[in-house]
A and B are shown apart, each in its own frame.
Chain A
């Protein structure tokens, strides 16, 4: 595939995954509160084409709109985001452990 074997860079050691999770946490803390509140691509098209009103409310709601009821503004978004990051990372780690179990 490639001519020269690339020199591997290992500036982070065995605990690289901590750095990865820290990046995700930083994004939630620093960038998520700065997110544009403009409609996203689909929502823009839905409102321009007149079918935005077809949207039905969720059957149940746990953390709607990435906000924790009772917390205000940015803090609410950050806490909701951190819960999501922890959930997704935890679920996928467990799924991965399960799917690779026979090769542990």
Chain B
């Protein structure tokens, strides 16, 4: 409660500091290269989802995007006068699969940049890659490996989700640091420890929110946790 009270005091002094990378942090070649990679991955995602998306999973795309957008507005306090917020890629991927999850993340980040000027337009390719692709695809496959190792998804869902969520934030921070360094904005030996150091802590928030959201679904409509594997002409898997 005191954290919330502290946050409320902070809020009285100014507006939310939402800040994905603005234009100017990355050099034009780096930003253009990241746009290229992002466009290729999104094209693959659209093709995969176009072939497999079950109509029953469609409302979950909207709900997941709405939740992630809303939760990203809530910057929580971490140490040292710094805040962090949810990314949500691992959550989206666990609910919808890695490719549909990637599309959800890209849509959230695009709306933030285009409508809310949160994140630059030149930097948008990098922002989608760092916050919506690396952690979503990488985090999902880490989740799959972890649930396999820990005795199956039903048993290991929450710990695997927590670890993957945490790792997705750190992975995004590493990518951002490398892009900043390649851009010549700041040397890697400064950017990497600084970005990773902060996001190791922010990732704990990511893990908590991801597990809370999955727990809420497990307690209210646990069958929705299997929507990811829903395919037409097949019942939603029951185990």
Contacts and interface: CB of A to CB of B under 8 A. Distances in A.
A3 B222 CA distance: 17
A17 B60 contact: yes
Nearest to A7: B222
Nearest to A85: B66
Interface residues of B, number: 94
Contact of B152 (A2, A35, A36, A95): A2
A10 B219 CA distance: 8
Nearest to B153: A1
B224 to A, nearest CB: 7
Contacts of B83: 35-41
Given A2-B153, A61-B117, A92-B103, A55 B221 contact: no
Nearest to A78: B73
B19 A43 contact: yes
B11 A33 contact: yes
Given A2-B155, A40-B84, A45 B65 contact: no
Interface string B4-28: 1011101101111111111111000
B153 A10 contact: no
Given A34-B8, A38-B77, A6 B58 contact: no
Interface size class of A (residues with CB under 8 A): 35 or more
A79 interface: no
B74 A20 contact: no
Contact of B117 (A58, A91, A95): A58
A99 B51 CA distance: 8
B141 interface: no
B15 A66 contact: yes
Contact of B10 (A2, A28, A36, A77): A36
A31 B73 CA distance: 8
Contacts of B4: 34
Contacts of B111: 84, 87-88, 91
Interface of A: 1-12, 16-17, 19-21, 23-25, 27-28, 31-46, 48-51, 54-56, 58-59, 61-67, 74, 76-77, 80-81, 83-93, 95-97, 99-100, 103-104
11 contacts: A2-B155, A20-B67, A23-B70, A34-B11, A40-B83, A42-B19, A55-B22, A61-B117, A66-B18, A66-B73, A67-B15
